[in-house]
C-alpha cells in the first residue's frame, strides 16, 4: 500500500503532527544543521504537557513545499510514521484511526482492514444468540 502513495505529494503529517523527539534526534539535527543541541532546542523545539520535546510550530520548520529539508537526518518518529509496522501497532488502534485523517496510507490500510475483518453477522450467528 505505502509503495503506491507518494508522501511528497501529501506532506500532511509534517503539516499537522508535532512529533516527540528524543536526545538522539536533537543531536542528529544539530549535526546536520551545524548547531549545538541547545541551539536546536531554542530555535525549533518546545516542551509539551507530557515533558516531550516537540517542534515549536506547525507545519514542521523543515518542510519546504512537500519536501523534508533534513530528510536523511529526520527524527526517528518521522521515519516510522504512520507507525503501521511497529510491533505495538495493535495496542494503539485509537491512534491508528486518528492517523486516517492525516495520512492516506493509514486511511487505505484501515479501509482494507475493514473490508477484510468487518464482522458481518449471518443467519447462523443470529441463531446462536437467540
Q: Helices (DSSP H) in the chain: which residue ranges?
A: 12-16, 23-33, 37-44, 76-80, 93-99, 104-117, 123-128
pLDDT at residue 102, as a whole number: 74
pLDDT at residue 115, as a whole number: 74
What is the grid cell recorded at 15?
503539516
The ranges assigned to domains in the chain are 12-81, 83-130
pLDDT at residue 80, as a whole number: 77
pLDDT at residue 65, as a whole number: 87
The tens-digit pLDDT sequence of the chain (130 residues) is 556 777 777 888 889 889 999 999 999 999 999 999 999 999 999 999 999 999 999 999 999 988 899 999 999 988 876 756 666 655 566 666 676 667 777 777 777 777 777 666 555 555 555 5
Name the nearest CA neighbour of 104 among 12, 16, 14, 18: 12
Amino acid at each position: 500500500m505505502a509503495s503506491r502513495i507518494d508522501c511528497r505529494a501529501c506532506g500532511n503529517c509534517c503539516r499537522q503532527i508535532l512529533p516527540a523527539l528524543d536526545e538522539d534526534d536533537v543531536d542528529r539535527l544539530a549535526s546536520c544543521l551545524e548547531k549545538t543541541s541547545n541551539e536546536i532546542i531554542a530555535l525549533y523545539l518546545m516542551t509539551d504537557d507530557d515533558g516531550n520535546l516537540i517542534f515549536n510550530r506547525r507545519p514542521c520548520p523543515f518542510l519546504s513545499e512537500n519536501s523534508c529539508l533534513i530528510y536523511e537526518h529526520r527524527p526517528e518518529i518521522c521515519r516510522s510514521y504512520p507507525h503501521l509496522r511497529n510491533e505495538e501497532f495493535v495496542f494503539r488502534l485509537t491512534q491508528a484511526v486518528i492517523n486516517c485523517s492525516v495520512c492516506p496510507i493509514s486511511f487505505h490500510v484501515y479501509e482494507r482492514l475493514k473490508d477484510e475483518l468487518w464482522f458481518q453477522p449471518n443467519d447462523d450467528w443470529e441463531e446462536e444468540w437467540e
